Amino acid sequence: MTGAYDDRDGKIWMDGTLVDWRDANVHILTHAMHYASSVFEGERCYNGKIFKSLEHSKRLIESGRLLDMEIPYTPEEIDAAKYAVLKANGWTDAYVRVVAWRGAGFDMGVSAARNPVRMAVVAWEWGSYYGDAKWDGAKLDIAKWRRPDPMTIPVAAKAAGLYMICTMSKHAAEAKGCSDALFLDWRGYVAEATGANVFFIKDGEVHTPKADCFLNGLTRQTIIEMLRDKGITVHERRIEPLELASFSECFLTGTAAEVTPVGQIGDITFDVGAMTREIAKDYEALVRA
């Protein structure tokens, strides 16, 4: 499947019905377009099975709750909608995007309690999120924006509005020839990339920022569990930017990113080493098991 995302063949699930791809539209006065009242999940289907599908569905509902937006479907109904989309399009390996939002209704202002909460499920065939960087190592810029204090935003929600600085930071990074950007948090500690969590390796041990002001990714949690099961020490802690040069390897994790090695952050370089490649191989085996 190629071409612009709004001009393709296929089926999209919207509010309980499969509709033609080009007919999956919303009104211009949809509340989410004006006030970012939207949450979403990104998932991957491998060999006909969506990895951690139910966990993603539960997180979608929790994200909606954190935005005071009750999603009118159960996790099981959301799972069924995902598989209906995959079946309708004939895919066994695909990226799946579920999005819920406040639609158009009787309210058009900051308050929108009377507007319906809608949901859609779409999927498409998608290769490596970072292209060749998945094998050669991604190059990261340092974002000028910072992850905000958790007292200012619902950091545990996968909410569309929280990605505004991610889009701006990734555009700036790409303009410099980079694959992505690394955020610091509001205190100045290392946080995450624009759509992936970050890990570092030193002396056979793994270090990753403590998820106290950004989304604790499901892939992040999976990798930590995998590493500890293998007897590898994982430190979840606050990491100072000055420490970056002391690490030998670095990699990103996320549903889209999977496990992607990092070759450079700013002026600091890392080896695309054996431990990172082993972690990537183990993750690939797990999701396709």
Task: Please tell me which residue in 11, 82, 158, 170 is annotated as part of the active site.
Answer: 158
Per domain, the residue ranges of the chain are 11-124, 133-287
Token pair recorded at residue 12 = 């999209």
Catalytic, 49? Answer no
CATH superfamily of 133-287: D-amino Acid Aminotransferase, subunit A, domain 2 (3.20.10.10)
Q: pLDDT tens for residues 236-257?
A: 999 999 999 999 999 999 999 9
Identify the CA nearest to 39 among candidates 6, 5, 65, 78.
65
Enumerate the β-bridge partners of residue 138: 262
Structurally, at CATH architecture level, domain 11-124 sits in: 2-Layer Sandwich (3.30)
Residue type at position 73? Y
Residue identified by tokens 């030998």 is: 248
Phi, psi angle pair for 49, to nearest 5°: -125, 130
Query: Is the per-residue pLDDT at 11 higher than 90?
Result: yes
pLDDT band, residue 273 (cuts 50/70/90): very high
Contact 96, 43 (CB under 8 A): yes
Provide the percentage of residues in the chain whose pLDDT is more than 90.
Answer: 95
**DSSP letter at 30?**
-
> How far apart are the C-alpha atoms of 285 and 207, rounded to whole Å?
23
User: What DSSP character marks residue 241?
Assistant: G
Task: Report pTM.
Answer: 0.95
For residues 258 and 280, the answer to whether their CB atoms sit within 8 Å is yes
Q: Which residue carries 């990699």 as its tokens?
A: 251
Which one, of 205, 179, 177, 206, lies nearest residue 194 by Cα? Answer: 179
Average pLDDT over residues 172-191: 97
The Cα–Cα gap between 280 and 268 comes to 22
Does residue 120 have a pLDDT over 90? Answer: yes
Residue given tokens 């050669």 in the structure block: 136
- How remote is the C-alpha of 41 from its chain's centroid? 7
Distance CA 238, CA 243 (A): 10
* 36 neighbors 11 (Cβ within 8 angstroms): no
